[in-house]
C-alpha cells in the first residue's frame, strides 16, 4: 500500500497513542531519530514557492494553479495534472519545470520555505525532555545545512542544545538510504536507538531490521517511487497533530 499524501491536521486516538509511545520509549541513554523532509517538515510550501517563481519568470500563469493539496507523490507531471493543467502543456514543459525544481528544491535558501508539521516540534521537545538524544537524520546534503539549522530553530525544535544532532549527507550524489545505513554506527555511539520516524519505506525497513526492539514508525505523507513498502509490523503515523 502506498502513502496517501500529506494530511497534517488529521488526528485520532490511535494516532495519539503512537505519539505517546514515541515519548514513552525515550529516556536517558536513548536516541530518537527523526527524518526531516516529509516527516517533521512539510515540503509542499517550498514546492509551491518554486512553482510560483517559475510562473513569474516565464509568464506561465497555469503554474499558479498548483497548490499544496496537489502534491500526492514525487511526480511533478502528476502534480501539475492534479492542478488541472492541460496534459499536452505538461508533457512539453515538464523537463523545464523539473530542471528549475531541482535547482531550487535542493538548496539551503529554499528549505526555509518549509513548514514544520503541526505538532512535530512539540513532540520533539517532549522526547528531548525525557533525557533522550535527538538525531535529525536527513537526505539533505551538507550545502543545505545552514537553512536546515535555521528552520529547526525557528520552528522550535530542540537544536543547538546538548543531546541534539543534525546528520546531513556529505554529498548530494549519495543515495539517501545508503547514507542512512552508513549513519547507523555514528548514531549508535550516541546511545541506544529506541525511536525512529521516517516517511520512506526503505528507511523504516532498514532501521526496523537493525533495531528490532525499537519503535519504528512510518510517517504517511509522500515518498519516493521505489517499490518498497513498510514491513507489516511497522505502524503508520498520519500526522503529529493530537485530538486535544
Ligand atoms: Mg523524508
Give 118-175 pLDDT, tens digit per residue. 999 999 999 999 999 999 999 999 999 999 999 999 999 999 889 999 999 999 999 9
State whether 121 and 85 are in the same domain: no
Give the total residue count for the chain.
Answer: 244
State whether 89 and 64 are in the same domain: yes
Domain final residue pick, 88, 111, 134 = 111
State whether 34 and 119 are in the same domain: yes
Side-chain-side CA neighbours of 210 within 13 Å: the count stands at 19
- Give me the residues paired with residue 219 across strands: 237
- Distance CA(74)–CA(183), nearest Å, equals 25
Span from the CA of 198 to the centroid of ligand 1 (angstroms): 6
List, for residues 184-226, the tens digit of each pLDDT value: 989 999 999 999 999 999 999 999 999 999 999 999 999 998 8
State whether 25 and 52 are in the same domain: no
State whether 96 and 120 are in the same domain: no
Q: Is 220 in contact with 199 (CB distance < 8 Å)?
A: yes
List, for residues 16-57, the tens digit of each pLDDT value: 999 999 999 999 999 999 999 999 999 999 999 999 999 999
State whether 27 and 130 are in the same domain: yes
Span from the CA of 38 to the centroid of ligand 1 (angstroms): 5
State whether 166 and 223 are in the same domain: yes
What is the number of H-type helices and E-type strands within the chain? 10, 8
Span from the CA of 57 to the centroid of ligand 1 (angstroms): 29
Domain final residue pick, 111, 140, 164 = 111
Span from the CA of 51 to the centroid of ligand 1 (angstroms): 21
Span from the CA of 63 to the centroid of ligand 1 (angstroms): 25
State whether 74 and 124 are in the same domain: no
The reply to whether 243 falls in a domain is no
Predicted confidence band of residue 2 (pLDDT cuts 50, 70, 90): confident
Give me the domain span that covers residue 94: 44-111
| CATH for 228 | 3.40.50.1000
Whole-angstrom Cα Rg for the chain: 18
The reply to whether 158 falls in a domain is yes
Span from the CA of 235 to the centroid of ligand 1 (angstroms): 16
Q: What is the pLDDT of residue 161?
A: 85
Q: Hunting for cell 550545502 — which residue is that?
A: 143
Nearest to 24 by CA among 119, 121, 123: 123
State whether 76 and 98 are in the same domain: yes
State whether 162 and 197 are in the same domain: yes
- Distance CA(104)–CA(232), nearest Å, equals 36
Q: What is the pLDDT of residue 228?
A: 93
State whether 182 and 126 are in the same domain: yes
Q: Is pLDDT of 1 > 80?
A: no
Q: Is 29 in contact with 192 (CB distance < 8 Å)?
A: yes
Q: What is the pLDDT of residue 73?
A: 87
Q: Is the pTM of the predicted complex or chain greater than 0.85? A: yes
The reply to whether 191 falls in a domain is yes
Span from the CA of 244 to the centroid of ligand 1 (angstroms): 26
**Mean of per-residue pLDDT scores for the chain:** 96
- Distance CA(72)–CA(79), nearest Å, equals 7
Amino acid at each position: 500500500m502506498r502513502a496517501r499524501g500529506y494530511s497534517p491536521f488529521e488526528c485520532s486516538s490511535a494516532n495519539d497513542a503512537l505519539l505517546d509511545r514515541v515519548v514513552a520509549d525515550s529516556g536517558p541513554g536513548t536516541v530518537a531519530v527523526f527524518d526531516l523532509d516529509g516527516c517533521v517538515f512539510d515540503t509542499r510550501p517550498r514546492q509551491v514557492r518554486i512553482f510560483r517563481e517559475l510562473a513569474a519568470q516565464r509568464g506561465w500563469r497555469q503554474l499558479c494553479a498548483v497548490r499544496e493539496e496537489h502534491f500526492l507523490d514525487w511526480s511533478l507531471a502528476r502534480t501539475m495534472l492534479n492542478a488541472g493543467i492541460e496534459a499536452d502543456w505538461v508533457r512539453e514543459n515538464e523537463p523545464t519545470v523539473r530542471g528549475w525544481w531541482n535547482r531550487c528544491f535542493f538548496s539551503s535558501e529554499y528549505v526555509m520555505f518549509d513548514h514544520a508539521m503541526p505538532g512535530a516540534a512539540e513532540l520533539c521537545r517532549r522526547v528531548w525532555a525525557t533525557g533522550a538524544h535527538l538525531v535529525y537524520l536527513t537526505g539533505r546534503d551538507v550545502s543545505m545545512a545552514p537553512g536546515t539549522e535555521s528552520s529547526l530553530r525557528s520552528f522550535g525544535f530542540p537544536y543547538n542544545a546538548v543531546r541534539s544532532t543534525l546528520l546531513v549527507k556529505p554529498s548530494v550524489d549519495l543515495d539517501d538510504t545508503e547514507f542512512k545505513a552508513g549513519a547507523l554506527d555514528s548514531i549508535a555511539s550516541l546511545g541506544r536507538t529506541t525511536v525512529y520516524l521516517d516517511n520512506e519505506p526503505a528507511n523504516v525497513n532498514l532501521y526496523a531490521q537493525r533495531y528490532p526492539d525499537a519503535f519504528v514508525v512510518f510517517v504517511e505523507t509522500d515518498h519516493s517511487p521505489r517499490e518498497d513498502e513498510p514491513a507489516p509490523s511497522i505502524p503508520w503515523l498520519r500526522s503529529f497533530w493530537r485530538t486535544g
